[in-house]
Amino acid sequence: MSHSFSLEAILAIARNNAIGLDGKLPWHLPVELKLFKEVTMHHALIMGRKTYESLPGILPNREHIIISQSLNSIHGVHIATSVNHALSIAESLAPQKVFVIGGKRIFDELIPHCNAIHVSRIMREFNADTYYDFNFQGYTIDQSHSLHDVETGTDILYQKLII
């Protein structure tokens, strides 16, 4: 797959591979939400329908491409029926970067095609109903820094991984 944009993924994973609970994130970590905003701002996002429904609304200054076979058109977002359809919509928007933001099946299908992965490793275990077993092998750490969520006392290791 070759594109005119950089295809990247961004995900937050707990120690036990938890990523989601009851249609939301298993945690409330403002420092991690801030990081997500900084990394993705002014770029396009590809997401599954449930991840879209987990958002508080349309995120400002980012094109949203939602993969779904059940949704009809929604004002302000693009609907794709498959990952390939999502990539062709992204191509037509001509962004500099496109971020794959989940959930699980979208990560499974698109992470192998991403040239960078932004991972927040949440240094705790959480109850969850959605897990993602990300394989860190084969990547080089391009950037790495620690974050600390003061409110919950949670440590987070952010890493940008490249092929």
The residues binding ligand NAP (CB under 6 A) are 11-12, 19-21, 23-25, 47-51, 54, 67-71, 82-83, 101-106, 109, 130
CA-CA-CA-CA torsion for 154, 13, 113, 86, nearest 10 degrees? -100
Give min distance, CB of 107 to ligand NAP, in A.
Answer: 8
Residue closer to ligand NAP by CB (options 35, 95) is 35
> Residues 155, 148: contact at Cβ < 8 Å?
yes
Closest approach of Cβ 35 to ligand NAP, in Å? Answer: 11
Residue with Cβ nearer ligand NAP (59 or 71): 71
Nearer to ligand NAP, 63 or 121 (CB): 121
Q: Report the candidate in 66, 159, 160, 46 with the shortest Cα–Cα distance to residue 110.
A: 46
Query: How far apart are CB 150 and ligand NAP at their closest, in Å?
Result: 20
Burial class (CB in 10 A: 0-12, 13-18, 19+), 122: buried
